[in-house]
Amino acid sequence: MRNVSVVYATKTQHSRKLGEAIGKELNVKAKNISEYPGAEETGLIFLVGGIYGGKCNPELLSYAEKLNASLVKKVVLVTSSVSVSGRSQRDIREVLVKKGINVADEITCTGGFLFIKFTHPNRQDIQTVVNAAKDIFTKF
Ligand X SMILES: Cc1cc2nc3c(=O)[nH]c(=O)nc-3n(C[C@H](O)[C@H](O)[C@H](O)COP(=O)(O)O)c2cc1C
Rounded to whole angstroms, the Cα distance separating 52 from 17 reads: 18
Provide the residue type at 52 as one letter: Y
Cβ-contact 91, 55 below 8 angstroms: yes
Residue 77 CB, shortest distance to ligand X, in Å, is 13
Residue of minimal Cβ distance to ligand X: 111
> Which is nearer to ligand X, 33 or 103 (by Cβ)?
33
Residue 15 CB, shortest distance to ligand X, in Å, is 3
Residue 130 CB, shortest distance to ligand X, in Å, is 16
Ramachandran category for residue 136: left, alpha or beta (phi over 0 → left; psi -120 to 50 → alpha): alpha
Rule CB under 6 A: which residues touch ligand X? Answer: 10-15, 50-54, 80-83, 111-113
> Which is nearer to ligand X, 54 or 139 (by Cβ)?
54
* Helix 90-98 vs helix 58-66: crossing angle, to nearest 10: 10
